[in-house]
Structure 1
Amino acid sequence: MTDSAGRPVSAAGTPQRGDVNSGSDPESTLLRALAEAGVPVDGSPRRRAEYSYDASNYRVEPLAVVFPRTVDDVVAAVEACRATGTPITARGGGTSMAGNAVGSGLVLDFSRHMDQVGAIDEDAGTVDVQPGVVLATLSREVERGTGGRRTFAPDPSSKNRATVGGAIGNDACGNHSVRYGRTSDHVAEIDLVTSDGARLTATEAGLRATDPADSSSAERADALVASLAGLAQEHLSAFRLELGRIPRQVSGYHLENLLPEKFNMARAVVGSEGTWAVVVGARMELVPKPASALLVCLGYQDVVDAARDVPTILEFSPAAVEGTDEAIVATMRHRRGPDSVLGLPEGQAWLFVDLDGDDPGSVRAQADRLLDRLGENGRLVEGRKAADPAERASLWRVREDGAGLSSRLASGGESWPGWEDAAVAPERLADYLVDLRELLVQHDLTGVMYGHFGAGCMHIRITYDLRTDEGRRVFREFTRQAAELVVRHGGSLSGEHGDGRARSELLSIMYSPEVMAAFAECRKLWDPAGILNPGSVTDPDPMDGHLALAGVPEREWRTSFELSPASAGRDPWVHAVQGCIGVGRCRADAGGVMCPSFRATRDEKDSTRGRARVLQEVVRGARTVEEGWRSEEAREVLDLCLSCKACATDCPTGVDMATYKSEFFDHYYRGRRRPRSHYSLGWLPRWMKLTGRVPGLVNAVLATPLAKAAAAAGGITTKRALPRFARAGEWRREITDAGARGSAVLFVDTFTRGFRPEVAGAAARVLGDAGETVACSADACCGLTWISTGQLGTAKRLLAKTAAALDDGTDRPIVVVEPSCAAALRKDLPELVHTEQARRVASRVRSFAAHVADRVSGGWVPSQARPAPERAVLQTHCHEHSVFGAAAQRRALEAAGVGEVVDATGCCGVAGNFGFEAEHYDVSMRVAENALAPALRDTGSDVAVLTDGFSCARQVDQLAPSRPGLHLAQLLDPGATPAE
């Protein structure tokens, strides 16, 4: 068997690797050609594994990946591919849900280096961009450069990681497409490299050589324009009747833009999905930014009722009409807590309507009129205006995370793209949804729905079983019938994401043979070599070929962690690592905490997604990486994971890479020598039993040159000052009122006992101030250092003893001073120790901040001795953020009277042992530059810094030695003196 590129494949559809040392296989030939052209290329098994996937159902292993820095790199890469007959796939953020960003040849990833925003011309209303610019970055830079007067309009939900090049390739739209349309409505010029090496610029008027002195490209431009004009003339009637009929008709090529009355070559190029030429730059058009906006949230009984009200809503000229259903909201609350969705009205389906204008009063009045009209229609359950910015952001995040949230639901079910973004005219949306739901019932499928209701474009993720032959048969049959259904409703197979591998096979249902033939002819005119993104649009791959879930062997992967829930009959480890569906939120540079290592390096291998994709290759036994627990490729991608656990909350699908790293390292290092830091830092609680006996001697040694030698011997960086050790039992002198049977148990962890004993006393006094009597527990360990280094046998033994010690027959809260230890007891304890006792104890665990926030919510007002600072920098520990929520410390600070809280949102970079390890120090400091270091630089030395986490406090000491980090307990301490 062979794939679409002529490469041999196995019966399961897995490309077979040649001998890379033979010099005669396609990989070696390509790598040699690129090397001769001076283009850096990565053909390593690990890199190929990372780029075998995008956000679709598909897996296609490439030969190699190039990260071009200049257009010359692109030209050279294209020349090498043309000479060797190698397919080319251009890629941005890798967020394609249709399989447009994977290919069997060379992948060009523009997001890493060619990601600059160029000149902004406010008068002309344009901006120069490179193809790898992230859409949200572009909007932010334009608004900054124009004083907030202009912005870039297309805003798909993936805007904080999707790129301009990808938006051009798919004709992306976004949440505000009701007002602003598609990417094709915002393009002025596009710079291209064709497969035969011409450098062309597509404009409204036609094509020109990008360099006027380039005569061969000028000749190519003239010939291509003449041929395309002739193509349009030959098919005038078909183009006018079949193309450009509804707002979201994205399927196929946009050849209506070649018609004489509509001619615009730049717009024609948009949506060609990388099959015509490679985008290397663009001039994009800008729009005025409204002065005032108001979100109106509407609740309905179901999505059909919501869709029936869309024509009424459109009469009010909204900027956006987006929607989601109850399954997504329930999953958001399940994964991120009840506070993650604020201000949602009653209902089981919701519309988010953005109204805007120049005057806030007029916008509010318009919202009132809209609510009155919808009330008269009789379908609205409840509607409300979301004026609070936090509420508005919370509601929009529900919609924007829809793709990920819907894939792994709170109910435990899975759903997948495929019939992902069909579109009809908005006035036909309700009737289409009625028929679509009937079709789902016929096939015993469930569809989770969300999308662009105002544009008639519905995203739907469906409960196919793509792992089995029968499930794939249902997938194919349902998708074909759904295509026939949407065409009967006058719609488009794709309304935003393009056709790719998911829908190209079905285009003949939507278009006549004449138009399909014109598509093929047009593509050949642009790409006579036939090397650009094969398998999409024309001569497509089968829609059920190259499915990522097909061909994964069944075997038992024995794990220490209880990785549940897993789908029935499937291995929990396989199910866990397959949780990543590639939406790429871990690649965002703002919002949330994940993924700190990717934000520091900008390398796919250091993203949660990149790690998950390599692990997925491990469990499928692919030849790209070594199979099983001994995979060196998996160890490599996990190396810079900080185990911050932010992905467990921030990732819409709930991928918990910290847990996967611990599990993998536990197996990988069995029978192998571990890194030295696993013995020094990983065994820290054991060493601290010794240092606690002679802290004076240890601290004296740390002040001498011997300290650096000892640190180096233990794999610890010599660039970071080591903390001073406290005497064993010193913490007890800080706590004078603790009893045996208090109303709350204060768990004094290893780090607090050994390094910050004063915090234990402050915590006890704060709990007392809150009206609680305190019992203390300090003889147990959460096992965190063993967990993070993958020494799970020891961790389980320690945790079992801790559960026995804390299970006292009461339901008293166990309040833990150190957030990382609290998280380990709350989450890791029941996942590693599979007993009712462990679950009972875990359910009682609270972080100090979360417990204090609960008391504040109950009406308690802190009576701290120190006056509340006017400003404070807040560094929320990543584990606090992930397991207990990000808002607890802020609520406590507000209750204490802190005027302004400056959030340093993101990982501090130390993350337990990570920032102390010699090989990771530089990355840890780059991670600090994501948020913490700028926050410290931007605030005065007199501004307090809140660092509940010991690791966070150490990073603050490193960055600003004169500003020691305070634990929340120290700030609220009623027994502190003003000088403390």
Structure 2
Amino acid sequence: MDAATDLRALGIEADDSSLRRAEYAYDASNYRVVPRVVVFPRTAEQVAAVATYCHHHGLVLTARGGGTGMGGNAIGSGVVADLSRYMTAVRSVDAHGRTATAQPGVVLTALRAAVHAATSGRFTFAPDPSSQSRATLGGAIGNDACGNHSVRYGRTSDHVESLDVVTADGLRLTADRNGLRATVSGDPAAEHRAAELAVGMRKIAAANLAPLRTELERFGRQVSGYHLARLLPENGFDVARALVGSEGTCAIVVGATVSLVPQAASALLVCLGYRDVVDAARDVPMLRGFDPTAVEGIDEKIVATMRARRGPGAVATLPDGAAWLFVDVDGDSPEAVAAKASEVLEAATAQGRITGGRVVPDPEERALLWRVREDGAGLSSRLILGGDSGAYESWPGWEDAAVPPDNLADYLAEFADLLARHGLDGVMYGHFGAGCMHVRITFDLRTAAGVRVFRAFTRDAAELVVRHGGSLSGEHGDGRARSEYLPLMYSPAVMAAFAEFKRLWDPAGILNPGSIVDPAPVDADLALTGVPHRPWPTATDLGQPVPGKPAPFVHAVQGCIGVGRCRTHSGGVMCPSYRATGDETHSTRGRARVLQEMVRGASTPDAGWASQDVHDALDLCLSCKACSSDCPVGVDMATYKAEFLHQHYRRRVRPAAHYAFGAMPLLLPAAAYVAPLVNRLAPRLPLARRLAGIDPRRKLPVFAGRRAVHAALEDLPRNPRPDTVLFVDSFTRAFRPHVAGAAARVLSDGGRAVTCTTDGCCGLPLISTGQLGRARKRLRRLADALDGPGTVIVVPEPSCAAALAQDLPRLVDTPAAHRVSGRVRSFAAEVSVLLDGGWHPPRPMPGHVTVQQHCHEYAAFGATTQRAVLRRLGVPDVTVAEGCCGVAGDFGFERGHYEVSMAVAEHALAPALRTRPAESTVLTDGFSCTMAVDHLTATGAVPPARPRHLAELLDPL
């Protein structure tokens, strides 16, 4: 049986390649199960066809949304159906009835945005888990997700009105608050199945009235198991909500109607500091009395990691403390909310436990604080701690337990003792107001001894949470991580009812087996076990080998834990190729998973660096570096790609584009002498483009002529005692020499003693194409040339600045290289320093600036560098095209990348250029960004625009 071929014959997109199977072998849990085939249904009818096929052939079928679940309930050994790629529509929003109807693959933030637009901001969909920017509605229904505001709004199950589902045998049914029916009237098989299921569910409820009433729905975050109490007579035989939280084990959701809640007119955040999380938890009952919308908590380890990884400005000013609560209050007017916030702060102060507190009125500051909380899962997996603590990694596995909020403090105190007894440490954050704690723990899941500790601890933790009247799962579902321990929480009668419910809906047991009913052991199928110990030497410094630990390259690629922030379509910059294609292959996570399979030697045994799967997965990576900053765990795919290409092409013929772009820095200095000829002939030589691997549709850059270069560079300052070195890279010299002159004049006007160097190259084209041996030689010479007594090195080209700041010390381990990298600043970052010193630009600033944020500057020098500088310069209106321009060095020019390059530009840059005011100045510090704007203008995709560098805007001449 060739399942992929059979399913394609039914018109269903199916993929059983080793590349695709590697990507979908993981979710965001500790587990790995390689599927047989992955399918991408477009309609409910196609989902039904897949289910029918699996039913007839006895294949396991697992439905999957964003793959962000930590319980291991989105992976399976048979067919994995990814509903997030095509089934993403919001069908309708009914403001009068306060409902929305949508397909299961719609991302929660997209659903909320559609509701906001359709109701003029009056209503929203309440569940908002921290993964909402990539988690789907179907996933939220499958796990009964909650979110930051569940203290007010409860779980997803509290907002589901009806579900359209496909059964294990391929029939389409609709479950609502009062029963079950065929989705399509006149379908006799579906009508018969609906009646049969209804009879069976009523029997289960009638036979278990007492245990269902006493053991289920005891407090708001009791998610573990099936929600069979919804079938009780007093609950109206609510089949829709009984299916919520069933983790795809009973039926596959193909559509849902959900209720909406009013959106408050005004809100404020109160931030409270505490000595520890136990003290914070003791204040929760008092804080709940103020009817807050959220009471969320984090500990100091997450904050320290955020500051270390993204800079001190990444975390707004917090009150003193080692743990913090974020208390959201809302109301009808700013005055009423401010008064309520003050009352909360006063009451917390009166309790005597807080170490500090403040109301946070600034929206941007609130957003920064909430991002710390929302990135908690990723940040806490690779912690960077201050002092002598060093750094360590932590994992899920017991990250979702919940207890009644009044019991939370005592539970946490005992939980800390339990961690200590097992020699473990934990990073605590979560929904304090709802009693649900997300704890990442320092399990060693790579060794047999560590796995034994993992098993012993999780069982003890299960017993502890049950003693405190809690639930093994508070919103992530039971999955592979917790299902084994459900008998500790529930009586044999309830467990038997769960099993009967599963058998009723799925007699053959093909739907996501192993979750809730008949689970595998919690230590089966762990992703980190079974990885061969190999040295994996690299040209890039990824850290020092540690005895008994995986090689630095293995440790680096295993940093991806499936959080999935790279699968977002808004906010931040990563991952541009995923945003363009919507394909998991082209997400940072997808690439990392294929790299993880490479180091396992699993999907492609013995391939190693020769892996074609990895090569294909990396092909559309733009090396934008945004993942190194946006990814909560700091996955740096640009570095991994460069290393892989370096190793992959050793003693092998490279693509023509690698040779062409790698040689460019050597050829550029001479280009000025033949610029008129090259500029005239290059567009007319398609064969030369083809031989160089350049797409014939891409507009080529115009070389500056010898006179222009001479005029721009002859007067550059050469101060014998400089405090600032202006590094003029080869691309600026060849294409934009006037930028170098403008930058030098700005720095001199700012009081700097400037000297300029124009004969160096950072070797970035060599790095991006993986020619790391040649890049290292060039960088070593450059480091020696730039090494000086404490001078600041200002680089007007952001990509070269990032290469000197980040790639140089990784490739050249010399004192000179480390000194030079520590002194490098982008031009925009240095302008901020000039402003700190009291300098003011000599000319008035424009009223509006449209900025294409350069990805490398975003990653290496701060996500808000350019925006912040422009505001400090007095520009009243700044529009930032937040997203990659699509050119990204050689990527946009290389044959085979054009369509994706243009699609990337359409994400942010092109719309910003189309909607900008006519008088707006277009700012593109990066040469690639300049080329993107020029190309969009030349092709008529956007109105004419002349991109400028910040140095030109500030030039005193």
* TM-score w.r.t. length of structure 1: 0.95
Distance change >3 Å, CA 941–CA 538, structure 1 → 2: same
Unmatched 5+ stretches in structure 1:
1-27, 976-980
2:477 aligns to what?
498
**How much has 1:246 moved relative to structure 2?**
1.1
Pairing of 1:204-215 with structure 2 (within 5 A): 204-215=177-188
**Code of the aligned partner of 2:360:** A
Kept in 2, the 8 Å contact 1:37–1:80? The answer is no
Query: Which residue of structure 2 aligns with residue 954 of structure 1?
Result: 931
2:583 maps to 1:603: yes
User: 2:544 and 2:431 mapped to 1: Cα distance?
Assistant: 31
Structure 2: give runs of 5+ residues left out of the alignment.
Answer: 386-390, 939-943
Displacement, 1:33? 3.4
- Which one-letter code corresponds to 1:931 in the other structure? A
Measure, in 1, the Cα distance between the counterparts of 2:603 and 2:83. 26
Q: Which amino acid aligns with 1:109?
A: D
Q: Please tell me whether the aligned partners of residues 404 and 470 of structure 2 are also in contact (alpha carbons under 8 angstroms).
A: yes
Letter in 1 for 2:291: S
Which residue of 2 is the match for residue 23 of structure 1? none
**1:121, distance to aligned residue in structure 2 (A):** 1.0
Distance, in Å, in 1 between the alignment partners of 2:836 and 2:157 is 50
Distance in 2 (CA, whole Å) between partners of 1:514 and 1:226 is 19
Partner of 1:395: 369
- For the residue of structure 2 that corresponds to 1:158, the secondary structure is coil
1:759 corresponds to: 739
**Cα deviations by residue, 1:629-657 (Å, 9 ceiling, x for unpaired):** 00000000000000000000000000000
Cα distance in 1 between the residues matched to 2:268 and 2:545: 41
The structural deviation recorded for 1:694 is: 2.0
8 Å Cα contact 1:466-1:549 kept in structure 2: yes
Instruction: Give the 3-state SS of the residue equivalent to 2:878 in structure 1.
Output: strand
Q: Is 2:800 the partner of 1:800?
A: no
Q: What is the aligned counterpart of 2:883 among 906, 911, 914?
A: 906
The residue type paired with residue 87 of structure 2 is M
Decide whether aligned partners of structure 1 residues 869 and 625 sit closer, same or farther in structure 2, where only a CA change above 3 A counts.
farther
Identity rate of aligned residues, in percent?
60
Q: 1:148-297 alignment to 2 at 5 Å? A: 148-262=121-235, 263-297=237-271
- What is the aligned partner in structure 2 of residue 523 from structure 1? 502
Q: What is the Cα deviation at residue 696 of structure 1?
A: 2.4
Q: Which residue of 1 aligns with 2:941?
A: none
SS at match of 1:353: strand
Out of 611, 615, 632, the residue aligned to residue 635 of structure 1 is 615
Describe the superposition over 1:803-844 as per-residue Cα deviations: whole angstroms up to 9, x where unpaired.
110112x11110011000000000000000011111111101
**Superposition deviation, residue 695 in structure 1:** 1.8
Contact 1:597 1:642 survives alignment (8 Å): yes
Q: Determine helix, strand or coil for the equivalent of 1:159.
A: coil
Is contact 1:731–1:753 with CA below 8 Å preserved after alignment? Answer: no
Q: Which amino acid aligns with 1:715?
A: G
Give the SS at the match of 1:261. helix
- 1:311 and 1:426 in contact (8 A); partners too: yes
Deviation (angstroms), 1:565: 6.3
Query: Contact conserved, 1:343 with 1:386, CA < 8 A, in 2?
Result: no
Deviations 1:32-53 (A, max 9, x none): 4324433221000000000000
Shift of residue 286, structure 1, vs aligned partner: 0.8
Tell me if structure 2 keeps the 8 A contact 1:594–1:647: yes
Give 1:583 deviation, angstroms.
Answer: 0.5
In structure 1, distance between residues paired with 2:676 and 2:75 = 59
Native 8 Å contact 1:853 1:889 kept in 2 = no
Residue of structure 2 in register with 1:654 after alignment: 634
State the AA in 1 paired with 2:59: T
CA distance in 2, matches of 1:266, 1:734: 76
How far apart, CA to CA, are the structure 2 residues paired with 1:141 and 1:735?
56
Q: Out of 916, 929, 943, which is 2:920 matched to? A: 943
Deviation at 1:71, TM superposition (A): 1.2
Change over 3 Å in CA distance of 1:830–1:701 after alignment to 2:
same
Q: Distance in 2 between matches of 1:225 and 1:781?
A: 73
The answer to whether the Cα contact below 8 Å between 1:29 and 1:84 also exists between their aligned partners in 2 is no
Aligned to 1:897: 874
1:504-515 equivalences under 5 Å are: 504-515=483-494
The question of whether the paired residues in 1 share the 8 Å contact of 2:573 and 2:855 is answered with yes
**Does structure 2 retain, via aligned residues, the 8 Å contact 1:734–1:757?**
no
TM-score, structure 2 normalization = 0.97
- Cα drift, residue 627 of structure 1: 2.8
Superposed CA offset, 1:354-395 (max 9, x none):
100111101100111111111111111111111111101000
Would you say the 8 A contact 2:669–2:730 is kept in 1? no
SS at 1:954's partner residue? helix
How far apart in 2 are the matches of 1:773 and 1:847?
17
Amino acid at match of 2:666: R
The alignment status of 1:298 with 2:277, answered yes or no, reads no
**Mapped pair 1:367 → 2:341:** yes
2:694 to 696, 716, 726: 716
Distance 1:609 1:199 in 2: 33
Deviation at 1:726, TM superposition (A): 2.2
Structure 2 CA distance for partners of 1:289 and 1:872, relative to 1, 3 Å: same
3-state SS of paired residue (1:330): helix
Q: Is the 8 A contact 1:296 1:386 kept in 2?
A: yes
Shift of 1:626: 6.0
Structure 2 CA distance for aligned equivalents of residues 624 and 271 of structure 1: 36
CA contact 2:604–2:611 (8 Å) conserved in 1? no
Secondary structure at the aligned position of 1:537 is classed as: coil
Is the CA contact 1:731–1:760 (under 8 Å) kept in the aligned structure 2?
no
Partner deviation per Cα, 1:325-352 (whole Å, 9 max, x = no partner): 1111111111111111113222111111
1:816 pairs, out of 777, 780, 795, with 795
Determine if contact 1:611/1:638 at 8 Å carries over to the other structure.
Answer: yes
1-side partners of 2:507 and 2:545: how far apart?
48
User: What is the rounded CA distance, in whole Å, between the counterparts of 2:605 and 2:206 in structure 1?
Assistant: 51
| Aligned-residue CA RMSD (Å) | 1.2
**Does the 8 A contact of 2:732 with 2:739 survive in 1?**
yes
1:550 correspondence with 2:529: yes
Question: Is 1:968 matched up with 2:950?
Answer: yes
Deviation of 1:190 after TM superposition, in Å, equals: 0.2
Equivalent position amino acid for 1:410 in 2: I
User: Alignment partner for residue 299 of structure 2, among 311, 317, 325?
Assistant: 325
- In structure 2, how many angstroms separate the alpha carbons of the residues matched to 1:892 and 1:33? 58
Q: Residues 516-595 of structure 1: matches in 2 within 5 Å?
A: 516-564=495-543, 569-595=549-575
1:303-335 CA-partner distances (Å, limit 9, x unpaired): 111111111110100000111011111111111
Letter in 1 for 2:250: W
State the distance in 1 between where 2:483 and 2:2 align: 30
Inter-partner Cα distance in structure 2 for 1:832 and 1:341: 31
> Letter of the aligned partner of 2:411 in structure 1?
Y
Confirm or deny: 8 A CA contact 1:115 1:133 kept in the other structure: yes
SS in 2 for 1:218: helix
Structure 2: distance between partners of 1:854 and 1:353: 36
Contact map agreement 1:645 1:657 (CA 8 A) in 2: yes
- Go from structure 1 to structure 2 and tell me whether the alpha carbon gap of 1:528 and 1:826 turns closer, same or farther (over 3 Å shift): same
Hey, what does 2:465 align to over in structure 1? 486
Q: By how many angstroms is 1:624 displaced?
A: 5.0
Partner of 2:452 in structure 1?
A: 473
Write the letter of the residue equivalent to 1:151. Answer: T
Q: Does 1:335 align with 2:309?
A: yes
Report if aligned partners of 1:248, 1:492 keep a CA contact under 8 Å in 2: yes
**CA distance in structure 2 between the partners assigned to 1:641 and 1:603 by the alignment:** 12
Does 2:707 align with 1:725?
Answer: no
- Aligned residue number for residue 678 of structure 2: 698
> Is the counterpart of residue 457 in structure 1 residue 439 in structure 2?
no
Pairwise CA distance, 1:890: 1.8
Stretch deviating more after TM superposition (99-108 or 194-203): 194-203
* Equivalent AA in structure 2 for residue 305 of structure 1: D
SS at match of 1:178: helix
User: Partner amino acid for 1:94?
Assistant: G
Cα shift at 1:566: 6.4
